[in-house]
């Protein structure tokens, strides 16, 4: 496979390696060693992660967290164009600037829709396991070539700009992966089973409305803790949904599952644990409050949750 995830990991690893190297060579960087080590190890995880013993990676991950915790991972100095320069350049290229930017989503969609079956010389060229992500990879590379041609910049300048954006996000870029790792450790350790046991043993599940509320709000709450509705679904549906709502109150399983999963998504809107949706954008948009996106979302999420409780309650067949 040409655009397999494994190959795209190498591309991402090379970008991160350049970020680390530029940081290490930056004499004016306030935390040169710590930041270079952080990005350097992260580059290694992408480049040769499969070849290293997992326990070593575990040790490195702890070291990365300590570097971030000790404020050793910060942005280097970046000389930005002035307001006037920006306005001049924007006028020069005008609407053409939109082309490479829109090429990323458009090419990704076209590739997803057309290339699943296509192959080059008998080789499938898009990762079958995750075609959407592989398509975003293809689209990013196409858009990069377009952007270099349009702006007449070298790919090296593109990598310097990538470093500027990596610096703008800082360690928040790595947080989604950290949290997903924690989710896997939680499930290895049996946290889900323990939560389900507590939920089902201390609450009066024989009252219809209470049972519905426990399922819907439990999906949200468990998602808030785990950062992921997919982790909450088996726990709450196995603990409450199937035995109580379907077993005792004869709920429609398809409706219960759909509404339950959406309730989990409301939890995703409310939690810093869902870092790639909530914390990364706050960093990316340079907001001083890391929870600003959650603050913007909570009224929507809570309203939908309340609607879900009543929706599922009224969908139960009358006794």
Task: For the segment 124-183, give every residue that binds another protein (CB under 8 A).
Answer: 130, 132-133, 135-137, 139-141, 143-144, 146-148, 151, 153, 155, 157-162, 164-166, 169, 171, 173-183
Shortest distance, position 122 Cβ to another protein, whole Å? 26
Taking the C-alpha atoms of residue 47 and residue 164, their distance in angstroms, rounded to an integer, is 21
Whether residue 288 contacts residue 282, with contact meaning beta carbons closer than 8 Å, is answered with no
Task: Give the x/- contact pattern for another protein in 1-30, rule: CB under 8 A.
Answer: ----x--xx-xx--xx--------------
How many CB atoms neighbour CB 315 within 10 A?
13
Least Å from the CB of residue 121 to another protein: 25
The Cα 300–Cα 304 span in angstroms is 6
Nearer to another protein, 24 or 225 (CB): 225
Element (H, E) at 120: strand 119-120
Which secondary structure element, helix H or strand E, spans residue 316, and what is its range?
A: none
Q: How far is the CB of 145 from another protein (least distance, A)?
A: 9
**# residues contacting another protein (CB under 8 A):** 148
Minimum distance of another protein from residue 150's CB (angstroms): 8
> What residues numbered 87-116 form the site for another protein, per CB under 8 A?
87-95, 97-98, 100-101, 104-106, 108-109, 112
Instruction: Select from 255, 232, 235, 247 the least CA-distant residue to 308.
Output: 255
Cα 137–chain centre separation: 15
Nearest CB to another protein, comparing residues 121 and 129: 129
25, 33, 118, 184: residue in contact with another protein (rule CB under 8 A): 184
Quick one: which of 189, 258, 250, 187 has its CA closest to 222?
A: 187
Q: Is 75 in the site for another protein (CB under 8 A)?
A: no
252 near another protein, judged by CB under 8 A: yes
- What is the footprint of another protein within residues 269-298 (CB under 8 A)? 269, 272-273, 275-282, 284-285, 287-289, 292-293, 295-297
Q: Please report the sign of the dihedral spanned by the C-alpha atoms of residue 183, residue 184, residue 190, residue 193.
A: positive
300 scored as a contact of another protein (CB under 8 A): yes
- Closest distance to another protein from the beta carbon of 92 (Å): 8
Distance CA(19)–CA(188), nearest Å, equals 34
Q: Which is nearer to another protein, 121 or 204 (CB)?
A: 204
Q: 88 or 121, CB closer to another protein?
A: 88
Q: Is 229 in the site for another protein (CB under 8 A)?
A: yes
Q: CB nearer to another protein: give 30 or 122.
A: 30
Decide whether 16 or 214 has the Cβ nearer to another protein: 16
CB of 117 to another protein, least distance (A): 15
Closest CA to 215 of 185, 196, 236: 236
Do 143 and 104 form a contact (C-beta atoms < 8 A)?
A: yes
Mapped onto helix, strand or coil, the DSSP state of residue 123 is strand
Token pair recorded at residue 55? 């326990």
For residue 124, the cross-strand partners are: 119
Q: Does 61 bind another protein (CB under 8 A)?
A: yes
Helices (H), 49-154: 54-69, 83-93, 98-114, 131-151
């Amino acid at each position: 496979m040409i655009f397999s995830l494994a190959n795209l990991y190498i591309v991402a690893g090379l970008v991160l390696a350049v970020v680390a190297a530029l940081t290490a060579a930056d004499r004016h960087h306030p935390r040169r060693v710590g930041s270079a080590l952080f990005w350097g190890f992260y580059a290694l995880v992408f480049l040769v992660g499969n070849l290293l013993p997992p326990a070593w990676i575990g040790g490195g991950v702890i070291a990365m967290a300590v570097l971030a915790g000790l404020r050793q991972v910060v942005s280097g100095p970046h000389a930005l164009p002035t307001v006037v320069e920006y306005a001049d350049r924007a006028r020069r290229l005008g609407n053409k600037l939109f082309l490479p930017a829109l090429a990323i989503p458009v090419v990704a969609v076209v590739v997803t829709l057309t290339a699943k079956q296509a192959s080059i010389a008998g080789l499938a060229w898009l990762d079958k396991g995750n075609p959407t992500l592989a398509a975003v990879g293809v689209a990013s590379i196409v858009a990069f070539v377009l952007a270099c041609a349009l702006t007449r910049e070298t790919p090296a300048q593109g990598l310097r700009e990538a470093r500027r954006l990596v610096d703008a996000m800082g360690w928040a870029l790595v947080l989604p992966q950290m949290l997903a790792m924690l989710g896997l450790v939680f499930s290895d350790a049996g946290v889900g089973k323990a939560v389900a046991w507590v939920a089902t043993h201390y609450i009066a599940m024989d009252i219809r409305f209470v049972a519905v509320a426990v399922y819907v709000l439990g999906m949200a709450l468990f998602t808030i803790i785990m950062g992921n509705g997919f982790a909450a679904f088996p726990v709450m549906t196995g603990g409450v949904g199937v035995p109580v709502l379907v077993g005792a109150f004869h709920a429609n399983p398809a409706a219960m599952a759909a509404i339950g999963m959406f309730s989990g998504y409301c939890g995703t809107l409310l939690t810093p644990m869902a870092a790639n949706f909530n914390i990364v954008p706050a960093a990316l948009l340079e907001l001083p409050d890391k929870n600003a996106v959650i603050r913007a979302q909570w009224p929507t999420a809570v309203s939908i949750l309340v609607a879900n409780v009543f929706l599922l309650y009224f969908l139960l067949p009358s006794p």
